[in-house]
Amino acid sequence: MPSGRYGTELEMKKEIIERKEKKQILVFHLANEELGLDISCVREVLRPQKIFHLPSTPQFIEGVINLRGHIVALINLKKRLHKKQIEDELNKKIIVCKVNKFIVGLTVDRLREIVALSKEDFKPTPEVVSMQMEAEVLSGIAIVGERIIPILNVEHILTQKEVEELSTIKP
């Protein structure tokens, strides 16, 4: 006799497969726009921390923070993505994630939600848009109800030159 929310073992297996096929996206705001990030690269989310500014770093590097004994560079996504600067210190968050071989903090205005999406909810970035970008900063576009959310490709947030510059940062 079936018990719980599944009527049959087959329904239970189908539910497990559907859950595995879904991709979770962390949706956040940046300069009054929504962007998303694959949650698999996210290590943790922090409130604003004391930032230690460093000389001779790229403009989009806000500085570094001390995260439990590890020095983590902060990338200001607004500056990196050339968005207008709107200060929202009250809700500002730091998304700690792995970018290339580095653990970095990405500063964003505020978090919105985590959404689980199926493959059908993802669309490729239009070719005319991706041709205008200096790197493949977007991995695609998510359709969430009536919303269209660009998904950042964290592996391409930094150019190769910027990766080299970041590797020389010393506190």
Q: Which residue has the higher pLDDT, 1 or 139?
A: 139
Q: Is the pLDDT of residue 67 over 50?
A: yes
Burial tier of 49 (Cβ tally within 10 Å: 0-12, 13-18, 19+) = middle
Tokens of 24: 């979770």
In angstroms, the CA 80 to CA 165 distance is: 14
* pLDDT for 27: 96
pLDDT over threshold 70, residue 85: no
Question: Is 120 exposed, middle or buried (CB count within 10 Å of its CB: 0-12, 13-18, 19+)?
Answer: exposed
The dotted CATH code for 9-167 is: 2.40.50.180
At residue 1, the pLDDT reads 45
Per-residue pLDDT reduced to its tens digit, 143-160: 999 999 999 988 888 777
Q: Which of residues 110 and 129 earns the better pLDDT score?
A: 110
> What pLDDT, on the 0 to 100 scale, is given for residue 158?
77
- Residue 153 neighbours by CB distance under 10 Å: 17
H-only helix segments in 36-116: 77-80
What local confidence, expressed as pLDDT, does residue 129 receive? 61
Q: At CA 33, angle to CA 54 and CA 61, rounded to 5?
A: 10
Q: What are 135-146's pLDDT values in tens digits?
A: 578 888 999 999
At residue 107 the predicted structure's pLDDT band, cuts being 50, 70 and 90, is very high
Task: Give the per-residue pLDDT at 79.
Answer: 85
State the pLDDT at residue 12.
57
- Whole-number Å distance between alpha carbons of 94 and 128: 31
